[in-house]
Structure 1
Amino acid sequence: MKPRPRGAALALLLSAVLAVLAVPAAGPSWAAPEKPAPGVTLSRAEAAKGADLTVTGKGWRPGALLMLLVCGQSTPELGVTGGTNSCANADGQAVTTDGGGAFSKVLPAAAPPKPCPCVVHVATVQGEQAVVDTELRITGHPVAPLPVSGEGRLAVLTEPRLDGSSSLLTWFGAPPARTLVFTVGNLGTSPVKDPVFQLGTAHGVFAPQWEDRQWKGTIAPGQKAEVKLDFELSAGAHGDYQVSLQYAKKLLATEPWGVDRPWGVTLFWILLCLVVPAALFRIGMAVVDRVRPRIPGRPRAPRHRGVRLSDVTARLPRTGRAPDPTAAAPAEPARHEPGAAHPTTAALPWFTPDSAPSENHPNRP
């Protein structure tokens, strides 16, 4: 039996190690499962006018109230372009999803007021917005192309949203900035290249201030694209704002935006109101100290700079210390000569140790 080459043995060893390392990966995954997208399925793709078809859905929010409509002049890509006026509203059905987000409902294929292409429009009535359009062909109902103009015509297909967050500089009064994200579709017959949108911001009850925002790109007829427009407010802006989107002088969407107050600016002004008066008081006191008149012969009072240790110790009484031999002896009082004029002040009596009166002195009482 021939021995295996070293290369084959090394390959077997490497494959065994990889197999061992791959065992934990085969275990249960603790990652959160992705939320499934809402879906709708029809029991038949084509139905006669008034015929019943079963609409089945899954992946919706549990306990959500849904509205089911048959709409004309609509496609799954562009949605209900004619609005709810192009739907058979009288024959619509409502349904509530179960705990797993699924539902099943019988819906009559009523003829919509607009010609086909037609869809079954399923949308949430309240809460988080979710819409799904599924193509449906209605036998005997007229079919006509979508109404388009001679040029490109854009329509918003999804609910706009504001992306972005505030930074530390915004807390100190920097301009708040956001990005408006939305999806538009071209309902015209000509491509739209580099469309220019009007973006307006309104504060409270005031009218919006419009600014032009150009998006770089081309949207072909019947296609859709995601548009992102950056904008910012003025420095220190706060309160309730409303962002509006307009194209070709037609309002497409509005989105509210609550801007927090820049509390850093408020804190700065509070500190400024405390520091400035204190500094002005110190400067004023220094000026008064220099310009006030001085009394002749009186030295200027030294500035108070706190109590020093040498000043305290100089005033303490010195007790229990031996006399300093190097210290100068006290001066003897001047003696009064006979016939001399008496001084104006009486001298204190001084006694020597020999002349001091004792207890046995004859003159002592």
Structure 2
Amino acid sequence: MGPARWLRALGSWGAALGFLLALLPALALAPATGAAAADNPGATLSRQQAGKGGDITVKGTGWRPDALLMMLICGQATPARGVIGGTNACANADGRAVTTDSRGGFSKKLPVAEPPRPCPCVVHIATVTGEQAAADVVFEVAGHPVAALPKPPPGGRLAVLTGARLEGSSGVLTWFGAPPARTIVFTVGNLGSTPVKDPLFSLGTSHGVFAPQWEDRQWHGTVAPGKKARIRLDAELSAGAHGDYQVAVKYAGKVLVEQPWGVGRPWGVTFFWLLLCVVVPAAVFRIGMAVVDKAGPRAARAAGRSWRRRNARPGPAPRMPAFRRPGRADAPPQPSTATALPWFTPDTAPSENHPVEKHPTTKGNS
């Protein structure tokens, strides 16, 4: 290759390298921009007020790309305090699911329905899977009752200081369908000015896209102002549960922590059913054979018993009689098969006791 070709090749490689170097800053900034946008999810409504039976258009920005969201109209809620009653205060039957695009945005129509709790109301948007994110937009349902919000509980304000984790493991009984159990552990701090005594938490477990089932769990202890405490709450699923679950802890109407929980399939139950499918037919076959043996004729049963005795206690082999050739001295006499000659009757046939008389022949006169 001549010098000119070397120079042209170096120029081509240099141009490609320069293009990649120019593209690297854009590639580096793209994830950071998406992450920053996902930290501030928001939504806007086409109308701030509508009656039951109508619909509004919800547009969202700043969400995680390709995320599955759920939109609900909830009562007894404000953007500052969130949905106080949880999903029980929302019109769950008329909710809508939407998936964000590659930029974290979406646009979806939502039918207007009256929530089970009185207003003030909001349109509550929250992620269904993955990292938790939510946003509340003020909305007024025309003709729906309005009531004052319940007063916040007196005392301090708890906040999570460290991430949650699940402790515990599954035993042999869980492999055979026993309820899986874990302990969720996290650390909270009192950011208020008064102590928090025996706080009441809500523990919820959810499977897939279903809403969590909340249960009240009280932690016994006191968290002084400016202090922290380690919280341990026991979580248990139903018997035979398996798949991807999520454990969440809520305090004062606000979700504090969420932790995924993968539960293996109870293969012991499957093995038990397979074994049962083999044992039961074998037992039925044995019972049927016993019934046939009892209901058969006596001779067949006697022959079967003697055959089993012979097989159970083998005796000396039977001796075959010796083969005797005919004509030997010790052979029994054979009956005579001789028949009378045709020119003798049975009563005139010659015998040893009556010999045939011989008469002289006569010749003519000499």
TM-score by length of structure 1 reads 0.44
TM-score by length of structure 2 reads 0.44
